[in-house]
Amino acid sequence: MSSVLEALIHVPTEEPVLALTFDDGPDPVYTPRLLDILAAHRARATFFMIGARADRHRELVARVAAEGHVIGNHSWDHPSFPLISQEERREQVRACARAISPYDERLFRPPYGHLDLASCLDVDQMGYRVVAWKIDAGDWEERDGPSIAEAVMAKLQPGAIVLLHDGLFDALDERFFPRDATISAVELLLNRLAGFRFVTIPELLQYGTPRCKQWEYTEPKEELNRLIRQDGSTRRY
């Protein structure tokens, strides 16, 4: 089974800009630490938030917006969209939008990167732009900060969108939930890439013509089957 659609991954430009994006927050422990580091480097980012978490930490949602970052929609509680019904998909987006209101920038990142044609059309009809990534830092696995930073540096190019996580809503192992390695990696990147400007997705779009990828949904990899139920919901440790 395979369906094709387009998702924003990159804005080709000669300008030294990168878009750091963070999924699955806000997290009351790690998101404030990350915000402090971004502020110290005058860097801005885009946070794709889980509605259930944003609803519990509204003061943190407000802080993210107040410090110049952009907030996007990452669903209410992280199901795989192709595995749930149209009404469930729409309610996932609506519920998250309510939780991040009034800061919703109408950007949507699909949980697990899973979208098929039907779910893409639902999101599009609701007025959202699908944002994927050019560089996956792999910080949802068991890696240390330098390894995560090197994964980004190895694929570095101006205008790229980088996938990171300031929280994990679910994980293959409970060891992966702490975000200390991600925090360390972000600080390493900001120090090493002093010549780059770190911008939000809306800012990035001002630098050129967006490059979209034909984003292909395939059945979840075997290891993700440990997380994703047939109804699209996830198992939590």
Q: Count Cβ neighbours within 10 Å for each residue of 191-210 and write b for 16 or more, e otherwise.
A: eebeebbbbbbebbbebbeb
Look at residues 104, 155, 163 and name the one whose alpha carbon lies nearest to residue 132: 163
Q: Which residue of the set 122, 165, 166, 170 is catalytic?
A: 165
Beta bridge partners of 131: 8
Percentages helix, strand, coil for the chain, rounded to the nearest 5? Answer: 40, 20, 40
Query: Any catalytic annotation for residue 23?
Result: yes
CA distance 198 to 180: 21
**What does the block give as tokens for 82?**
């192709």
3 state SS of 3: strand
Query: Any catalytic annotation for residue 165?
Result: yes
Q: Which residue of the set 23, 104, 122, 139 is catalytic?
A: 23
Catalytic residues: 23, 165
